[in-house]
Amino acid sequence: MVAVKEARGQGYAKRSLGQNFLVDPNTSRRIVQALDIEPHDHVLEIGPGRGALTDILAASEAHAVYAVEKDRELAPRLKARHPRLRIALIDALDVAWERLSPEHPWKIIGNLPYNVASPIIWEIAHRAMPASRCVFMVQKEVAQRLAAPPGSKTYGALSVFVQSYMRVKLAFTVGPQVFRPRPKIDSAVVVFTRMESRSVDAEALGAVLAVCFQKRRKQLGSILKQFWSQELEMLFEKRGLSTTMRPENLAVEDFQALAAVMNLRFRP
Ligand code: SAM
């Protein structure tokens, strides 16, 4: 495991766990502020690390604060500092998001490990339904993909999938200087708000997105040739789509409609 000694008495930062710790209290405060914590909220932090965000969350008016951390050295230290914090030593990719209690509002926050940020957000988008608002710091390039509108270069499967369940807003960008160790890239904070009304089949949508964006420069007529049907023909007509369009020109709702008609049952 590659580790970098960064601060006396704090142990090593583990690259394998994407550990770039926030050391600027002002940035930490801005990230937590974006979560809009209210007294009845149950707040869950992913990857609390050395506690840059956790310290602020623990002092907030949140009803309860939970955390999931994969690092078995850091988790107990944080628990010792914040005895009321409910911290689980698990991989965020293994969280049973469906089991978040719907009885109270949830907000999820994290300066996410960059290597697993996209899959974590993908799972939360369609499985953590009681989470009304999330704030995540990710690589700037991932933030741009998450918030991308149709027609833009970064619009792709991740944009469409996450925007099918949540409104996505790139809040602000953050330079490498606020982290130890310093990453080589810029980061950005993204705010997600749950859209209540959507009922979208995640598996069917994921499958259509995999098919379409694997060949994003090709025209839809060619991409969808093997799936072509009368229903697809009717859908294209109804939504004003053309077989010469490319996937990046379709709206989020167009992909949802394609998913409902094609109903593919495999995962990307
Ligand atoms: N929140 C801290 C901060 O802002 O300084 C730490 C952020 S650091 C970028 C990412 C954190 O996520 C680390 O504490 C790391 O140990 C933890 N982590 C990495 N992979 C994880 C995973 N799969 N599940 C849960 N936590 C993970």
* Residue range 41-82, pLDDT digits in tens: 999 999 999 999 999 999 999 999 999 999 999 999 999 999
- Ligand 1 atom closest to the Cα of residue 179 is 5
Per-residue pLDDT at 259 exceeds 80: yes
* CATH fold label, 202-262: Helicase, Ruva Protein; domain 3 (1.10.8)
Mutate to test the pocket of ligand 1, among 66, 71, 122, 187 (most ligand atoms within 8 A of CB): 71
Per-domain residue ranges for the chain? 3-194, 202-262
Predicted confidence band at 8 (pLDDT cuts at 50, 70, 90)? Answer: very low
pLDDT at 200 exceeding the cut of 80: yes
Report the nearest-CA residue for atom 22 of ligand 1. 91
Tokens linked to 118: 């996209």
Q: Pocket residues for ligand 1 (CB within 6 Å)?
A: 17-22, 46-50, 52-53, 68-71, 74, 91-93, 111, 113, 116
pLDDT digits (tens, 9 = 90+) for 133-180: 999 999 999 999 999 999 999 999 999 999 999 999 999 999 999 999
Q: What is the pLDDT of residue 23?
A: 97
Percent of the chain with pLDDT over 90: 90
Give distance in angstroms: CA of 169 to centre of ligand 1: 22
Of 143, 81, 86, 87, residue with least CA distance to 112 = 143
Binding residues for S-adenosyl-L-methionine: 20, 22, 47, 69, 91, 111
1 — pLDDT class (breaks 50, 70, 90): very low
pLDDT for the residue 216 = 85
Read off the pLDDT of residues 113-126 as tens digits, 9 standing for 90 and up. 999 999 999 999 99
**Would you state the pLDDT for residue 268?**
45
Tell me the CA–centroid distance for residue 88 and ligand 1, in Å: 13
In ligand 1, the atom with minimum distance to the C-alpha of 20 is 9
Supply the pLDDT for residue 103: 94
Q: Which atom of ligand 1 is nearest to the CA of 47?
A: 12
How far, CA to CA in Å, does 262 sit from each of 39, 160, 203, 208, 224? 44, 17, 11, 8, 10
Ligand 1 centroid to Cα of residue 74, in Å, is: 10
Mean pLDDT for all residues in the chain: 94
How much is the average pLDDT of 88-111?
96
Between 24 and 267, the more confident residue is: 24
List the CATH code of the domain at 3-194.
Answer: 3.40.50.150
217 exposed, middle or buried (CB, 10 Å; 0-12, 13-18, 19+)?
Answer: exposed
